[in-house]
Amino acid sequence: MTVAIGGSPVIRVRGLTKRYGDVQAVAGVDFDVAGGEIFGLLGPNGAGKTTTVEILEGLRPADGGEVSVLGVDVTRDADALKPRIGISLQTAALYPKLTVTEVIDLFRSFYATSRPTAELIADLDLGERKNAQTKVLSGGQRQRLAVALALVNDPELVFLDEPTTGLDPAARRSLWDLVLGLKAAGRTVLLTTHYMEEAEVLCDRLAIMDHGKILEMGTVDELVMKRFHERAVRFDRLPELTTAELEALPAVASVKADGGEMLLYTSDVGPTIGALLALTERRGLEPQNLAIRRATLEDVFLDLTGRALRD
Amino acid sequence: MNALVALTIANIKSYVRDRAALFWTLAFPLIFIFMFGFIFQGGGGGGLTLGWVDHDASPESAELHRAFTALRSNELVELPEAEARAQMQDGEVDAVIVVPDGYGEAITAGTAGSATAPASITVITDPSRSDLAGSVYQAVGAVLGIVNLGGRPPLVVPDPQTIQTENLNFISYFVPSMLGLSVMQVGIFAAIPLVADREKLILKRLAATPLRRWQLVGSNVLMRLLIAMVQAVIIVAVGVVFFGVEVTGSIAAVAAFVILGAMAFLALGYVVASFAATEDAANGMTSVIQFPMMFLSGTFFPIDSMPDVLQGVARVIPLTYLSDALRQVMVSGAAFAPLWVCAAVLLGWLVVCFAIAAVKFRWQ
């Protein structure tokens, strides 16, 4: 089930292109996904994430480039890949008049080997709804069923396309736990999302996509640190301290007063905080709600594309 | 479990749980049959119209004429034999009675006790109109019963002959037509759930599994054929039980045409599914195909009563041939086209539509 980590990558994409009429949906994409990792494609709607994933799944032909998934050349032999992967489409499409159990049983019949229905229902916490027709399921239950269907064949690699779009925060968190559970079980997961928080919580590595291209790739920390070397030290504003005084503190690059909060951008948090505390001590002050904050993916995306990533 | 079987069962479950689909396939044709059946049954209460061919022109034959006229309100139309047969073909008269030359002499001999054989009259009926043939023999029996009262052995015996007439009674014509219509609906309505499944990305999801496309198409075909057969059984049973429709042909032939017809219309449905982008579009296209077919195929109006242009259309559309074939094999209805032509036309539609769908159908 688990593919050896450190060996050849589970997914290898080079120079992938795809065009729909006048629209270049994917414009030369390269990335690798290692066994056992959760890899994310992050980007706004229309960035080319879904097209990329569907080419990897063997659902769409590529115009150009090489795509190897689990050692299979997808452009040549997608059928050899299908028994070994699990997918969940962006829209959880299910037979509306069949029950949860019936849909799982149906999908099990498509595979030579499959996990027992009862086990899948228990794992995905669908026990209470197992005899309900899928049309009456809630959004979160529907997504869990879609993931159950992706796991029917006990796949080595799972594709999840926008697994939490449209879910409420509780349902989203429950699905995150599920995805982290897949990783713990040694599976490789490729997911797409346009939620920063989701990418930060789930992805070992991620690629930021826009207009069919990968703009930046790496771990969340790498992506953030590459652009934002400074961290922000924040505390509730103290009118007694002048901006000039704060700017003179060691390692501080800039100072920003934002409403009731002071932000010190620093390249080295330790000396800055030490000096800040010494300064306030001397003046008989106490910084309230002192915290260290780093830049987020949202800041990275803003920096890369000049626009915010919101849905 | 085999994927083909599992998917077929899943399709059937989805179908049976869809009340609207069930209504349109099962209840709708039955409502039509009962409605038209009762409307047209009401008119047949009066006496018989009999073609009367008198080759003898004797007092005895005149006596017989009086006996038939006296019975209930039978109407006798005196005609030359060829004309009488022709009128029966056209449905102008219900049956023909021929009094042969020498009838009077035979009666005279019989009454005198010197006859070697009883006199006979020829009674020509159409066995496919069983209710009518029954009434005719009832009338003949009643008349001859009176004539034969005096003699034993009987003076006169009926000599039954049969011919096929053009005009079936309405319900015998209508039941196979409704069967054809239902088979058409089962077939072309296959487009709608298929397009809906594509729109809801179910087909795309299935494409990501090892399920083969032939399994997907095969399960769809199997399920539709099953529905067509169930429908056929129900419609024929209602025709037989409630309206006395007599299935004169072979059940196997009926089943064969139901299957061939269903396949041809399924292929037409797949063509619709190939060109309709949305479920609504598929609904619209299905209606556009269905309604002309319904009215121009001879289901409600005989084809030869239609204007030439529409007759031309009727000559092309597959439902004409399916219903025609079903009428021929079920109730020995008059042929619009020979059976092999019906089969060939349906097969032609099947092959052409399937080829178009195979090229044009998009799975996502």
Cβ–Cβ below 8 Å for B205 and A149: yes
- Does residue A131 sit in helix, strand or coil? coil
The torsion angles phi and psi of A258, rounded to 5 degrees, stand at -120, 100
Contact (Cβ atoms closer than 8 angstroms) between residue B175 and residue B231: no
Alpha-carbon distance A148 to nearest alpha carbon in chain B (angstroms): 13
∠ at Cα B320 (B316, B324), nearest 5°? Answer: 135
**CA distance linking residue B88 with residue B79, whole number of Å:** 11
- Please name the residue of chain A whose CA is at the shortest distance from the CA of residue B216: A110
Q: Is the pLDDT of residue B95 over 50?
A: yes
A161 shares contact with chain B (CB less than 8 Å): no
The predicted pLDDT at position B41 comes to: 57
- Does residue A70 sit in helix, strand or coil? coil
- Report chain A's mean pLDDT, rounded to a whole number: 87
In this structure, what token pair is assigned to residue B239?
A: 């025709």
Alpha-carbon distance A28 to nearest alpha carbon in chain B (angstroms): 24
All residues of chain B having their beta carbon less than 8 Å from the beta carbon of residue A147 are: none
Please state the rounded mean pLDDT for residues B114-136.
78
Cβ–Cβ below 8 Å for A109 and B205: no
Cβ–Cβ below 8 Å for B1 and A109: yes
A136 shares contact with chain B (CB less than 8 Å): no
pLDDT, tens only, B39-80: 765 444 456 788 889 888 888 888 888 888 877 667 888 888
- A49 DSSP 8-state letter: H
**CA distance linking residue A130 with residue A136, whole number of Å:** 12
All residues of chain A having their beta carbon less than 8 Å from the beta carbon of residue B206 are: 110
pLDDT, tens only, A66-93: 999 999 999 888 889 999 999 998 776 6
The predicted pLDDT at position B78 comes to: 85
Give the residue from A95, A108, A165, A190 with the most B CB atoms within 10 Å of its CB, the best one to mutate.
Answer: A95
Please state the rounded mean pLDDT for residues B191-213.
88
- Does residue A109 sit in helix, strand or coil? coil
Cβ–Cβ below 8 Å for A110 and B210: yes
Tokens 């008049």, residue located: A97
Give the residue from B5, B204, B206 with the most A CB atoms within 10 Å of its CB, the best one to mutate.
Answer: B204
Of A97, A107, A149, nearest to B17 by CB-CB distance is A97
Q: What percent of chain A has pLDDT over 90?
A: 46
Lowest mean pLDDT among A53-62, A125-134, A286-295: A286-295
Cβ–Cβ below 8 Å for A110 and B209: yes
Please state the rounded mean pLDDT for residues B329-337.
75
The predicted pLDDT at position A311 comes to: 43
A149 shares contact with chain B (CB less than 8 Å): yes
CATH number of B49-162: 3.40.1710.10
The predicted pLDDT at position A3 comes to: 43
Peptide bond into B153 cis (omega under 30): yes
> Which amino acid, one-letter code, is at B300?
F
How many CB contacts within 8 angstroms connect chain A with chain B?
Answer: 63
The predicted pLDDT at position B36 comes to: 76
* Domain spans in chain B, listed from the N-terminal domain onward: 2-40+169-360, 49-162
Confidence of residue B224 (pLDDT cuts 50, 70, 90): very high
Tokens 């120079």, residue located: A15
A133 shares contact with chain B (CB less than 8 Å): yes
- Please name the residue of chain A whose CA is at the shortest distance from the CA of residue B206: A107
Q: Is the pLDDT of residue A2 over 50?
A: no
The predicted pLDDT at position A310 comes to: 52
pTM: 0.73
**CA distance linking residue A129 with residue B141, whole number of Å:** 71
A89 shares contact with chain B (CB less than 8 Å): yes
Q: Is the pLDDT of residue A261 over 50?
A: yes
Confidence of residue A1 (pLDDT cuts 50, 70, 90): very low
Contact (Cβ atoms closer than 8 angstroms) between residue B296 and residue B314: yes
**CA distance linking residue A245 with residue A272, whole number of Å:** 12
A window 14-53, beta carbon within 8 A of B: none
Q: Which residues of B touch A (CB under 8 A)?
A: 1-3, 5-7, 10, 13-14, 17-18, 200-202, 204-211, 364
Alpha-carbon distance B24 to nearest alpha carbon in chain A (angstroms): 18
The predicted pLDDT at position B42 comes to: 46
**CA distance linking residue B203 with residue B362, whole number of Å:** 10
Lowest mean pLDDT among A159-168, B6-15, B298-307: B298-307
Cα–chain center distance at A267:
28
The predicted pLDDT at position B271 comes to: 93
**CA distance linking residue B316 with residue B330, whole number of Å:** 22
Of B17, B200, B208, nearest to A82 by CB-CB distance is B208
The predicted pLDDT at position B359 comes to: 87
Nearest to A171 by CA among A151, A144, A208, A195: A144
Contact (Cβ atoms closer than 8 angstroms) between residue A60 and residue A75: no
Query: Which burial class, exposed, middle or buried, applies to A304 when counting CB atoms under 10 A from its CB (0-12, 13-18, 19+)?
Result: middle
Of B1, B208, B210, nearest to A57 by CB-CB distance is B208
Cβ–Cβ below 8 Å for A97 and B364: no
> Which amino acid, one-letter code, is at B10?
A
Q: Is the pLDDT of residue A6 over 70?
A: no
Angstrom distances, CA of residue A10 to CA of A45, A157, B110, B156: 26, 8, 106, 98
The predicted pLDDT at position A120 comes to: 92
Cβ–Cβ below 8 Å for A149 and B202: no
Cβ–Cβ below 8 Å for A93 and B6: no
- In angstroms, what is the C-alpha Rg of chain B? 27
Angstrom distances, CA of residue A189 to CA of A111, A199, A243, B288: 20, 12, 47, 47
> Where do runs of H (alpha helix) occur along chain A?
49-56, 74-81, 100-108, 117-123, 139-150, 169-184, 196-202, 220-227, 243-247, 269-282, 297-305
Residue that wins the pLDDT comparison between A13 and B363? A13
Q: Is the pLDDT of residue B209 over 80?
A: yes
Lowest mean pLDDT among A93-97, B252-256, B315-319: A93-97
Confidence of residue A188 (pLDDT cuts 50, 70, 90): very high
Cβ–Cβ below 8 Å for A87 and B208: yes
Q: Is the pLDDT of residue B333 over 70?
A: no
All residues of chain A having their beta carbon less than 8 Å from the beta carbon of residue B364 are: 59
Q: Is the pLDDT of residue B258 over 90?
A: yes
Q: What percent of chain B has pLDDT over 90?
A: 17
The predicted pLDDT at position B165 comes to: 64
**CA distance linking residue B174 with residue B299, whole number of Å:** 7
Identity of the highest mean pLDDT range in A87-101, B119-133, B160-174? A87-101
Q: Is the pLDDT of residue A4 over 60?
A: no
Distance in angstroms between the alpha carbons of the first and the last residue of chain B: 26
pLDDT, tens only, A137-184: 988 888 889 999 999 999 999 999 988 887 888 888 988 998 999 999
Q: Is the pLDDT of residue B317 over 50?
A: yes
Tokens 């399994």, residue located: B215
* SS3 annotation, chain B: CCHHHHHHHHHHHHHHCCHHHHHHHHHHHHHHHHHHHHHHHHHHHCCCEEEEEECCCCHHHHHHHHHHHHCCCCEEEECCHHHHHHHHHCCCCCEEEEECCCHHHHHHHHHHCCCCCCEEEEEEECCCCHHHHHHHHHHHHHHHHHHHHHCCCCCEEEEEEECCCCCCCHHHHHHHHHHHHHHHHHHHCCHHHHHHHHHCCHHHHHHCCCCCHHHHHHHHHHHHHHHHHHHHHHHHHHHHHHHCCCCCCCHHHHHHHHHHHHHHHHHHHHHHHHHCCCHHHHHHHHHHHHHHHHHHCCCCCCHHHCCHHHHHHHCCCHHHHHHHHHHHHHHCCCCCCCHHHHHHHHHHHHHHHHHHHHHHCCCC
Cβ–Cβ below 8 Å for B6 and A95: no
The predicted pLDDT at position B219 comes to: 92
Give the residue from A72, A91, A110 with the most B CB atoms within 10 Å of its CB, the best one to mutate.
Answer: A110
All residues of chain A having their beta carbon less than 8 Å from the beta carbon of residue B201 are: 89, 91, 93
Residue A193: HSE in the Cβ half-sphere, 13 Å Cα cutoff = 26
**CA distance linking residue A289 with residue A286, whole number of Å:** 10
Please state the rounded mean pLDDT for residues A40-62.
90
The torsion angles phi and psi of A124, rounded to 5 degrees, stand at -95, 5
Residue that wins the pLDDT comparison between A307 and A48? A48
In this structure, what token pair is assigned to residue B117?
A: 């054989």
- Please name the residue of chain A whose CA is at the shortest distance from the CA of residue B19: A97
Residue that wins the pLDDT comparison between A227 and B210? B210
Contact (Cβ atoms closer than 8 angstroms) between residue A143 and residue A89: no
In this structure, what token pair is assigned to residue B83?
A: 């004309």
Please state the rounded mean pLDDT for residues A11-30.
92
Sign of torsion over alpha carbons B244, B249, B254, B255: positive
* A258 beta partners: A261
pLDDT, tens only, B259-276: 999 999 999 999 999 998
Cβ–Cβ below 8 Å for B208 and A58: yes
All residues of chain B having their beta carbon less than 8 Å from the beta carbon of residue A85 are: 208
Please state the rounded mean pLDDT for residues A177-201.
91
The predicted pLDDT at position B363 comes to: 75
Calculate helix-pair angle for B213-243, B3-16, nearest 10 degrees.
Answer: 50
Nearest to A87 by CA among A160, A145, A141: A160
- Report chain B's mean pLDDT, rounded to a whole number: 83
Confidence of residue B150 (pLDDT cuts 50, 70, 90): low
Confidence of residue B344 (pLDDT cuts 50, 70, 90): very high
Contact (Cβ atoms closer than 8 angstroms) between residue B178 and residue B327: no
The torsion angles phi and psi of A215, rounded to 5 degrees, stand at -85, -35
Give the residue from B202, B205, B215, B220 with the most A CB atoms within 10 Å of its CB, the best one to mutate.
Answer: B205
Cβ–Cβ below 8 Å for B210 and A105: no
